[in-house]
Chains A and B, each alone.
Chain A
């Protein structure tokens, strides 16, 4: 079945998405970008350019580079908006015979829908290339304030591009769909959309089966680009004050300034202060000049404060128009790149006294929503095979009362995992397998699911036996735990029917507890693990001394013995750093044995010794 493409046809940038295995996914264009500039151009050599390529030649080809077409689509030439835009648009427009707008591209007059179609066509091609299949249908979004004629024109441009347009969807509705708010009955939602060039505010109401637009408002000439302009102007002014040089006449300087202004703006969304550093920005008789300036978040906010205030004022007004009080609003969604600015998030939060939704990339949320609508229309194939996940981790208790996880939480079942464990003491002939469920670090803080004993392990030094512990959860959540001694193939197992039968509340509580005690648990575990390491070290050191016998000089031996004694005396205490220090000292001292043995081995006859060892091992295996 062919996919339906969800398209956010924006004023400055467009984006597209499809549903892939049930999830909406943004599709990158041919250039590898997730958004495409809504720009069309006819190059001087007569090639049609769309998107980034059109943008790259816009400066030297302004009459034949068309942008902001969305401002003209479906409008009458006599509209006040069109009159206003005509003033600043660098390309020519005239009244069409039907009263609409026509745009001049080279020597041909074309309707805005034909121009928009070129953008849609590029997106269609790029999507087909990326997905490797023909795409014939689309859902295209438009601003909620678009009238019938603007919607029809947008639909027409989709059809010119070769799509069957399944739905013309309101942008704020798409944003609500992206957040899954269509499932929230009887809620009022505000969508605050601060894009590059326009600001749109919509109030939506979710009823039984529809999302209704209750009120819209905004400012078609207020956006993030205005913020950039303010910053550039401020920097240029500061530089002029300091150096007396006007940068606004220098193309390259201005370009560099623009880039660092944008970069600084982005950085100030995450840090309170940044530096604008442009060495060799320009020069005069006295030599090269550098631009170095501190730029703070506070300064940025001061520069654009009036624009933020304006957006908030509009928001207040539109909510009032919708007939709701600010306190009636259940959800606020932030859309558009500029909403990453903390001052805007804060202003919105303060106005509604509510945390706004902003987890979905604000440049992509509308396209994502369009794809969700497309998914609803094409009726994504239902997955009959619903697979569960283990809500909590499963594991066993190991030395020192630690919980060692075998299956991590949120693993999709059915699944099986195996780990090898060993004994903690010499000649230990049985192990207890204590099966646990939970997120805490220490065994006794978790839920016990079962205990069983595997015995008959042949007596051997600690750490030698290999006990394979296998966890297996089937699709019904039944957990089987099996322990097997690899040497004797002796095994024991247990079946736990209700490993996933905890109630939601219990699971939540267990997870919460784990978070609450994370720090203290981590410390506990570190102590136990440090003790375990120390324990192993003492054991290994003693064994090494015994094995080496009198090959070790007396002074080295007594030094190591002293260190063993010291570690042994503090390892039962609770001072992690002291145990670690003593362990470190002991292990350094022990390296001397190795060194000595190797030296002696080199002098004497190493092959014989090695050969002997290997043989013994072989014999044992048989």
Chain B
């Protein structure tokens, strides 16, 4: 090893006149080294970031798929609500209610939650959708009644509650 170093020193002294100076070559190498190192670091960082993104994407995808499935099931829940609102022989109604709660439990476990509303509540388009107006004793513009249930899925609105608002009283 010591010999090598010596050789290099000699070489740089000798060649400085006619050939590109070793210091130049070295500078060039240094520059390239920096460039490659930076590129490598960048690539490695890209890869690590990509893996993180990918994990998040996967999570989002899983949520998206579940949300899609649950969204498709919502009309079934609606139908149960409608069926139960009609009333029938009590034992059958009880049975249907039980089936509905079976389904409800499964969906709840997956993160489905009903948006609760009460008449007279302020209308909020973040979680409510207005589909009409009726007269009521509550202040004008507030929620008069629920038309169709709305749901949160894992904390986000999956479907807004459809409501009728209180009509402005015509003076």
Contact = CB atoms under 8 A, between A and B. Distances in A.
Interface of A: 32, 43-45, 49, 53-54, 56-57, 59-61, 251-252, 255-256, 259-260, 278-280, 283, 287-288, 384-385
B112 interface: no
A251 B130 CA distance: 11
B86 A252 contact: no
A54 B130 CA distance: 11
Contacts of B39: 384-385
Contact of B162 (A49, A252, A260): A252
B148 interface: yes
Contacts of B148: 252, 255
B125 A53 contact: yes
B156 interface: yes
Contacts of B133: 60
B131 A44 contact: no
26 contacts: A32-B156, A44-B141, A49-B125, A53-B125, A54-B125, A56-B125, A57-B123, A59-B132, A60-B130, A60-B131, A60-B132, A251-B131, A251-B132, A251-B147, A252-B162, A255-B147, A255-B148, A256-B75, A259-B75, A279-B83, A280-B79, A280-B82, A280-B83, A280-B86, A287-B86, A288-B83
A277 to B, nearest CB: 9
A130 to B, nearest CB: 13
B160 A56 contact: yes
Nearest to B67: A32
Interface of A is mostly: mixed
A283 B147 contact: no
B156 to A, nearest CB: 7
Given A43-B125, A252-B147, A56 B130 contact: yes
A244 B10 CA distance: 107
Contacts, number: 62
B24 interface: no
Given A45-B141, A251-B147, A252-B162, A56 B128 contact: yes
Contacts of A60: 130-133, 165
Contact of A255 (B83, B128, B141, B162): B162
Interface in B83-128: 83, 85-86, 122-123, 125-126, 128
A57 B125 contact: yes
A43 B123 CA distance: 10
Contacts of A280: 79, 82-83, 85-86
Contacts of B160: 56
A252 B141 contact: no
Contacts of B78: 256
A279 B82 contact: yes
Interface in B121-171: 122-123, 125-126, 128-133, 141, 147-148, 156, 160, 162, 164-165
A361 B130 CA distance: 31
Nearest to A280: B82
A45 B123 CA distance: 9
A252 B131 contact: yes
Contacts of B164: 251
